[in-house]
Amino acid sequence: MELINQDITREFSDFQVFHVGSGFSGSFVSPIAETAKKLGIMVIANEVYGHLAFGNTPFVSMGVFGSIVPLLTLGSISKRGIVPGLRLGWLVTSDPNGILQDSGIVDSIKIFLNISSDPATFIQGAVPQILEKTEEEFFSKIIDILRETADKCCDRLKEIPCITCPKKPEGSMFVMVKLNYSLLEGINSDMEFALKLAKEESVIVLPGITVGLKDWLRITFAVEPSALENGLGRMKAFYDRHAEKQ
């Protein structure tokens, strides 16, 4: 069992390099449920970006495999509504065989919720209005904007030789890109790149090392197209200044 766990951990560690913004079919997600069943473990599915899929692959919730393995699904109102800071979410259990209930996991979650602080009252008060009165057109517009800015982001990144985008995003609002230090002078880590970029160009990107992905950057494209264009232009200027001199 130890060897199996090591292999699974290694596979999932490699997988997360490319998971940001990627869409996966049911045939890809199904083996995850089957593997969890074989190992006798539950699955925690973070699906806060489930409604922000805009690629050719439809979003597949892990919840459809609830009959195979017990699931905890995480959701959030702040991502779909594009309202950062509205810290309100939910947990949904898929447990037709009662495994989570019998093992005490559901009771543990309830106890934790009883001792943790609730969202601010004004946020709770806004939720009914958000859920009942937000038109579908609002969400469709968000998807259209994200699709446009994702395309623009990937196209403009091609103009920056030290950055490689392995895959165009199909969802969420972020893309992970790889850094090539051999094309830069005086920059030897993703943290150093991010700090200098912020200082010199007032552009903020997340160093991959902060989420366990050394030599990568996380870039958000959930901004107005004109602002994204400006930010990527500054990143290109930053590269031009720090490019290795031949």
List the CATH number of the domain containing 88. Answer: 3.40.640.10
For position 10, what pLDDT does the model report? 37
Residue 117 sits in the same domain as residue 21: yes
Which one has a higher pLDDT value, 6 or 42?
42
For position 195, what pLDDT does the model report? 97
Per-residue confidence at 26, pLDDT binned at 50, 70, 90?
A: low
For position 131, what pLDDT does the model report? 85
* DSSP annotation string for 128-186: HHHHHH--HHHHHHHHHHHHHHHHHHHHHHTT-TTEE-SS---BSSEEEEEE-GGGBSS
- Checking if the pLDDT of 69 tops 80, the result is yes
Residue 105 sits in the same domain as residue 10: yes
Model pLDDT for residues 36-48, shown as the tens digit of each residue: 999 988 999 888 8
- Checking if the pLDDT of 89 tops 70, the result is yes
**What b/e sequence results for 24-53 when a residue is b if at least 16 CB atoms lie within 10 Å of its CB, and e otherwise?**
beeeebbebbebbeeeeebbebebbbbbbb
Residue 114 sits in the same domain as residue 10: yes
Which among 133, 155, 187 is the end of a domain?
A: 133
Helix (H, G, I), strand (E, B) or coil at 7: helix
Model pLDDT for residues 162-220, shown as the tens digit of each residue: 999 998 888 889 999 999 999 999 999 999 999 999 999 999 999 999 989 999 999 99
- Checking if the pLDDT of 139 tops 50, the result is yes
Residue 127 sits in the same domain as residue 143: no
Which among 133, 152, 182 is the end of a domain?
A: 133
Residue 23 sits in the same domain as residue 119: yes
Which among 133, 157, 183 is the end of a domain?
A: 133
Residue 129 sits in the same domain as residue 143: no
Query: pTM of the prediction?
Result: 0.77
Residue 34 sits in the same domain as residue 73: yes
Per-residue confidence at 23, pLDDT binned at 50, 70, 90?
A: low
Report how far residue 220's alpha carbon sits from residue 222's, in angstroms, rounded to the nearest whole number: 6
List the CATH number of the domain containing 237. Answer: 3.90.1150.10
Residue 126 sits in the same domain as residue 220: no
Per-residue confidence at 246, pLDDT binned at 50, 70, 90?
A: low
Residue 65 sits in the same domain as residue 96: yes
Continuous segment of H or E residues that includes residue 218 = strand 216-220
For position 5, what pLDDT does the model report? 35
Question: Phi and psi (nearest 5°) for 90?
Answer: -155, 160
Report how far residue 172's alpha carbon sits from residue 53's, in angstroms, rounded to the nearest whole number: 6
Domain count within the chain: 2
Domain that holds residue 76: 2-133
Residue 129 sits in the same domain as residue 173: no
Report how far residue 209's alpha carbon sits from residue 193's, in angstroms, rounded to the nearest whole number: 12
Are residues 150 and 21 in contact, defined by beta-carbon separation less than 8 angstroms?
Answer: yes
Most confident of 73-87, 111-125, 141-155: 141-155
Residue 78 sits in the same domain as residue 120: yes
Mean residue pLDDT of the chain comes to: 84
Residue 123 sits in the same domain as residue 158: no
- Checking if the pLDDT of 117 tops 80, the result is no
